[in-house]
Chains A and B, each alone.
Chain A
Amino acid sequence: MTKTVAKPASFQDFILALQIYWSQQGCAILQPFDTEVGAGTLHPATVLRSLGPKPWNVAYVQPSRRPADGRYGENPNRLQHYYQFQVIMKPNPVNLQELYLGSLDAIGIDRTMHDIRFVEDDWENPTVGAWGLGWEVWCDGMEVSQYTYFQQVGGLDVDLVSGELTYGLERLAMYVFGVDNVYDLPFNAPGTPHSLTYGDVFHQNEVEQSTYNFEYANTDNVLKRFEFAEEECKALLALDTPLPLPAYEHALKASHNFNILDARGVVSPTQRQEYIKRVRDLAKGCAQSWVEGEKARAEGASA
């Protein structure tokens, strides 16, 4: 196991420290997915790869979009666009909890000073028909990670259980750096020429995106985009040789458009269930199609 390293000096060092740590634990370090997602889990490297019989250890950074969480850049803790660091280990190693705690050492959290707790939180993402058991990990009362043992994805029982770790990077970095306002986080090392804060990079984006999400998103158009994406997804899955990967991207687009509608406050609880079901049906279809494809390819390879 890695020895405790010096506290990272910036947000980017912080990310690098996690990447190096998990790389040392045997994870392939992937890059972000380029379609809007609400959570790092939705990256196909998690949703699709946690299915099927092949082992799969990866880690990656994923920008996550939650339109309803926008605060016009005025709230020091909430963002509609932020980063998650995601680790998937399939099958989960026996000592995953210890590996996780080791990662806290790697980013400079001194466990003799901080109260680390695993508090029940059964994770579920109904839009992709996924659920698992696990915890929120608390550091001094703050949720710093989501820790889940996947049991079902896309409505299908998993063959091998994946251990999934999700770190909310900004929040965790703020904690480690003792910064109260996300926009004050040093993005790169403070002493470098033209050093940047998180605010330099993202503040204006938060202002404009919040304004769009809450005030200007044309709900009729967003609904049309939702429906277009849904239609495209279904069509791709209905092909003689289905294309689950592009279909899944459209399922994600449908999901994101639903999130915008939700942020605009035009979705009631009952309606919400219905939208979620529509997206879930898409995601399930993609997952099933993907698993079938994987099996066929595996048989093809062994034949």
Chain B
Amino acid sequence: MFELLLEIFSEEIPARMQVRAGQDLVKAMDAGLKAAGLSPKDSHALTGPRRLTYVTQVELRSPDVSEERKGPRVGSPERALEGFMRGAGITDISQAETRSDKKGEYYVAVLQSEGRDTSDILTALIPEVMTGFSWPKSMKSGDSDFRWVRPLRGLTVLLDGQSLDGITVGGITSDAMVHGHRQMGPGPFPVTTLADYRAALETDGHVMIYRSARRARVLEQAKAACAEAGLELVEDEGLLDEVTGLVEWPVALLGDMDPTFLELPDEVIRLTLKSHQKTFTVRDADGNLAPNFVIMANLETPDNGATIKAGNAKVISARLSDARFFQQQDRQKNLIDYYDQLDEVVFHKKLGSVRDKADRVAALAREIAPHVGADPDLAEQAAKLAKCDLVTQTVIEATSLQGQVGRWMYEAEGGNPDIAVAIEDHYKPQGPSDAVPTNPVAIAVALADKIDTLVGFWAIGEKPTGSKDPFALRRAALGVVRLILSRNLASNLNFFAMLSFYHLNAQFPDDDRMASFVHKLGGVGDLWKIVGHAKADNSFDAFSALGDGFSKTIVDTLLSFLLDRLRVYLRDQGQRHDVIDAVIAQGGDDLLAISQRVEALGAFLSNADGENLVQGYKRAANILRAERKKGKLDLASFDTLSGFTADPAAALAKALANTRPSIDAALNSGDYPAALSSLADLREPIDAFFEDVVVNSDDPDERARRLALLSAVVETFHQIADFSRLDG
């Protein structure tokens, strides 16, 4: 095996893309070499700010290959022989060999393909791999149509100690010269082997080509720079990875800032240093932020970095001054004083201003509060305060601080601590891995905010379609699901959704779109009466009195959207899709109950008893389905639970009679596992029934009674879940 090295040299590659590009390059080159009959070994990539390098061990020539192609029988018509010869690339049938089998003789063409030099393979492969390379974003440069992540500047291909010159891609031709650090060792340096390459770049070239070594150097230097001053680095893996992709020759420098900036919230300082300056935060021996930062420079200078430190300090100081200026401006008023200003910010033109939204959320949070153990007054107040920071300068400048800024301001005013938490946490959870709020006030506001968003966009017909979800409604729905499940909230989502819709309509009584929408629902006057009644009670029960017209249009489609998120969520938790479907098919809008049922049913089915029971159910259901196909079954006229003589049918009827009340009772009290375990009592009688009883009795009356019995069995199963949706 011989050493192969391919360096693709370009202008600066975005830090976040380098590692993936290295993996993709290895994959594509390995695949190409293998397809050409070679067997690359120990392939790996070196990645950095300006280069992507592939290194492997490979043969110098692909092996000769002999392939046999079976042809027609000897004596076949001329046309068949011609086709065979054309396909095999031979000109006369005498060039084929003949073989024989039981049926007689047939032709075989033996195709010899000669191996190719690896250098020739590479000459074709490299342009193909690079032209087909997929970057998250790529560009053209100058007048060329070749696309790369940034302009391509050099290409070096070394095979077995020799440079393969003259391979051209995107206007760049390969040669033996590589380029080092732009300032400290530009070169170019002639290289023919990996050892040369490494030696040239890592010494005179001042480029650390191995990413892991560079990363270790960054960390070690950053820590050392802090330790020297008796400080400690605040480690940050993400930032460390990014910085490793920004420097070829890491040089850590500890910089200072004006200590008065430390009066800013830590998060503001950290965010400023990290996201704007790619600079590490530093803490003192007590664990408090220190007025310092670690810069990772890419240059050694005659003044040991003094100029670089001073420059960075100046920029950081300017950024933090801005942050402080904004904070001072913001704090000239109390948080609630920004409430009216929210009216100038449009949430969505059909759904009013952010203040309109906050009003609705406040009303809804008040109503949700008792169901999640929160104080309604606090929830209402928190909802009003929650959006106020959106118009502060600090948040306008750094949107990712929304919620946090409101909380800081409110805490500084000495506000209620639950409200303070709710202001920050009401945006959560933002995604599948974001923490779910635990404070009841925060939960009330978080639910109300998300439900209002969902109901609002549903009402104006802005539902997500396909991959398009501009208002992040899937995320909002997943947020609702996670809030309810992780906080064990028994919920009646339809009720909440309807209250939310009520508040929306109350805000836009004269709005044409709303009016026409409401009109479609029909019987609006009655609707409001019922809603008003439900609101007064704040009870779930009143809701059930609502007519179908309303629920069918908005609540049902929204509920099924939420149930879709629930499906995804439960599957991510490892639940079986058929179990989820079987439970959801039973209806209901209590996500917690659905989730608990899925869990219980999943556990139940994972043991042999459960599986047998399902087999029994399926058998019963299949017989009924087959009978229904034959003709109309009129089962209702039979008293299914009596009239059997002493046989397994009678035993099953008796078991059913005993089991049904206990299942009803368990379901009524919400004890799903108990319902399942009662159901399990039917396993033996069902098995015995199928063992000994032939349903299709000659006596039509007996046959009908037995079918009715099976029907009762199936119905009983369906009380618990739609077992017909289970696989297997």
Contacts and interface: CB of A to CB of B under 8 A. Distances in A.
A94 B311 contact: no
Nearest to B348: A270
B316 interface: yes
Interface in B294-346: 295, 297-299, 301-303, 307-308, 310-312, 314-316, 318, 321-322, 325, 341, 344-346
Interface in A77-128: 77-78, 91-94, 97, 101, 111-120, 122
Nearest to B150: A133
A78 B345 CA distance: 25
Given A142-B314, A161-B141, A118 B308 contact: no
A122 B137 contact: yes
A114 to B, nearest CB: 6
Contacts of B308: 113-115, 140-141
Q: Contact residue range for chain B?
A: 35 or more
Interface stretch (B7-15, B195-203, B376-384, B579-587): B7-15
Contacts of A271: 346, 349
A136 to B, nearest CB: 10
Contact of A91 (B142, B183, B353): B142
Contacts of A119: 12, 246, 278
Contacts of A149: 139-141, 150-151
A122 B149 CA distance: 11
A141 B15 contact: no
A258 to B, nearest CB: 14
A56 interface: no
A160 B344 contact: no
A180 to B, nearest CB: 7
Majority SS of interface residues in chain A?
A: loop
Contacts of A117: 246, 298
B696 interface: no
A265 B322 contact: no
B278 A75 contact: no
A268 B347 contact: yes
B277 A133 contact: no
B239 to A, nearest CB: 13
B225 to A, nearest CB: 15
B11 A118 contact: yes
Contacts of B307: 113-114, 140
B12 A114 contact: no
B183 A161 contact: no
B391 interface: yes
B595 interface: no
Contact of B301 (A112, A151, A161, A270): A112
Interface in A255-279: 265-271, 274
B500 interface: no
| A93, A113, A122, A160: residue with the most chain B Cβ atoms closer than 10 Å | A113
B279 interface: yes
A141 B280 CA distance: 13
Contact of B302 (A94, A112, A142, A270): A112
Contacts of A115: 297-299, 301, 308, 311
A94 B151 contact: yes
B302 A180 contact: no
Interface string B668-684: 00000000000000000
Contacts of A139: 311
Contacts of A244: none
B354 interface: yes
A132 interface: yes
A78 B322 contact: yes
B703 interface: no
B346 A133 contact: no
B78 interface: no
Contacts of B140: 149, 151, 161
B311 A268 contact: no
B143 interface: yes
Nearest to A74: B325
A135 interface: yes
A175 interface: yes
A133 B139 contact: yes
A135 B396 CA distance: 24
B16 interface: yes
Contact of A120 (B12, B141, B279, B391): B12
B401 to A, nearest CB: 15
B326 to A, nearest CB: 11
Interface string A261-303: 0000111111100100000000000000000000000000000
A77 B316 CA distance: 12
B343 to A, nearest CB: 10
B62 to A, nearest CB: 35
A66 B297 CA distance: 32
B139 A161 contact: yes
Given A118-B12, A133-B137, A141 B341 contact: no
A270 B141 contact: no
Interface in A56-75: 71, 75
Contacts of A133: 137-139, 149-150
A108 B391 CA distance: 42
A180 B299 CA distance: 24
A36 B310 CA distance: 35
Contacts of A101: 182
Contacts of A269: 345
Contacts of B139: 132-133, 149, 151, 161
B6 to A, nearest CB: 21
B314 A268 contact: no
Contacts of B346: 267-268, 270-271
| B140, B279, B316: residue with the most chain A Cβ atoms closer than 10 Å | B140
Interface in A29-48: none
A101 B11 CA distance: 13
B298 A141 contact: no
A111 B307 CA distance: 11
A232 B173 CA distance: 52
Given A133-B150, A175-B311, A265 B303 contact: no
Interface string B350-363: 00011000000000
B132 to A, nearest CB: 19
Contact of B11 (A97, A111, A161, A265): A97
Interface of B: 11-12, 14-16, 137-143, 149-151, 153, 182-183, 246, 277-279, 295, 297-299, 301-303, 307-308, 310-312, 314-316, 318, 321-322, 325, 341, 344-349, 353-354, 391, 396
Given A161-B142, A268-B354, A271-B349, 16 more contacts: A78-B322, A91-B142, A91-B143, A92-B142, A111-B183, A114-B311, A115-B308, A117-B298, A118-B12, A141-B316, A149-B140, A161-B143, A265-B345, A265-B391, A268-B353, A271-B346
5 contacts: A75-B325, A115-B311, A120-B16, A140-B311, A175-B311
Interface of A: 71, 75-78, 91-94, 97, 101, 111-120, 122, 132-135, 139-142, 149, 151, 160-161, 175, 180, 265-271, 274
